[in-house]
Structure 1
């Protein structure tokens, strides 16, 4: 913004436009909103995705002298995360905090956050956390993690969604099937102003498959509006 440097030194900072761009998917009219397209995932996957996205931004600007400004992004993403979990389980946001609240051990001491634990027989449990990422400037060199924790298990995601036996559009469990498209570009062909709800949902999740009940599947192929989850 034309600020004059006192010592003529060059510094790295987080651009305001970058923060706004990262906040945009989680905002509507300036207020945090849920990510409806993610409610079909498990709570473990939802928390892992939000944490991975925020950690990526925070690490990218680790050398910035105004890294603390990412606190705005953290607030927006946390509100979006809790609203997404609230929508998934049909509960209120305060109930989400009561269910997942945890004290996280970090390099800078204990910090409050959210945590999801998935127990496993004979093995350590899977743990997904939100929070615990310091926004203080950090100029110490650290090796990159070339093998981060994966969100999805080895079993096919489509198989997992089919085993859930729930329509991803209306929530029905009646004769679920898989709707396929050849390519993501087919979800919004040129000339169409507003894609139908099912196409918008597939495009938002970047998936070429959608698990739907028989009724919704017939509506999709007939070009009729599909039912919405209650």
Structure 2
């Protein structure tokens, strides 16, 4: 006998499409799927990369947390997780096992960063995908990945006191700012970095900042 209740389900096509649109998934010749690294994120900081993945995972889960089969997002999580590992491996020209040795803490992928109040960390989402029958104001809202790339991230980058071009930590860092990303031609490395990050700011040491304005910074 039917109880005439409306049930929500997570279609496989939805999370597959999400992975494909994010550049996380590719299909092999035999028809099976495999995760891949995301070149578009390689210019971001470790914290930004991890926060991007977390926001996408939480965004899809928040949208479907009332679904009866929401646990299928564990399959979605598998591809997200290994794509993250492969992205870090690609960024540092390393292997996935070496990246895991470096970033795993208590079996959770964790990134550490420095602030004026000391070292802090952010970890990959690991709370599972259970049905949440409570009504949430976040339901039916798409994930906002841009919130991890604004003022909070800039503050963290300044607190890290590291030039994003030469890597030095000597001296006081300065912020180079452009009004519009469209004004960048992408010929110099620093321009390609800003375009790839979709960020109008760049943290530089005094030397690199002077070279940039003199047109001598590649």
TM-score range, shorter chain: 0.5 to 0.7
Relative CO higher for 1 or 2, CA cutoff 8 Å, sep ≥ 6?
Answer: 2
Aligned ranges for residues 5-84 of structure 1 at < 5 Å? 6-24=2-20, 25-29=23-27, 30-84=33-87
- Residues 138-188 of structure 1 deviation map (CA, whole Å, 9 limit, x = unaligned): 1134565xxx9744534598xx9x93226xxxxxxxxxxx9x89676x99x
How big is the shift at 1:51? 0.9
- 8 Å CA contact 1:37–1:201 kept in 2: the answer is no
Query: Secondary structure at the residue paired with 1:40?
Result: coil
- 8 Å CA contact 1:47–1:130 kept in 2: the answer is yes
Aligned ranges for residues 113-132 of structure 1 at < 5 Å? 113-121=108-116, 123-132=117-126
Aligned ranges for residues 1-230 of structure 1 at < 5 Å? 6-24=2-20, 25-29=23-27, 30-103=33-106, 112-121=107-116, 123-142=117-136, 150-151=148-149, 152-154=152-154, 163-165=163-165, 205-206=197-198
Q: Deviation above 2 Å: which 4+ runs of structure 1?
A: 5-9, 140-144, 148-157, 180-184, 198-210
Please give the alpha-carbon distance, in whole angstroms, between the structure 2 residues aligned to 1:8 and 1:43. 48
Q: What number of residue pairs does the alignment pair up? A: 182
Structure with bigger helix share is 2
- 8 Å CA contact 1:55–1:133 kept in 2: the answer is no
Q: TM-score, normalised by structure 1?
A: 0.60
Please give the alpha-carbon distance, in whole angstroms, between the structure 1 residues aligned to 2:181 and 2:115. 36
Structure 2: gaps spanning 5 or more residues: 28-32, 139-144, 167-175, 203-210
- 8 Å CA contact 2:181–2:195 kept in 1: the answer is no
How big is the shift at 1:129? 0.8
Aligned in 2, Cα 1:28/1:86: closer, same or farther, shift over 3 Å? Answer: same
Query: Secondary structure at the residue paired with 1:119?
Result: strand
- 8 Å CA contact 1:34–1:84 kept in 2: the answer is yes
Please give the alpha-carbon distance, in whole angstroms, between the structure 1 residues aligned to 2:134 and 2:39. 38
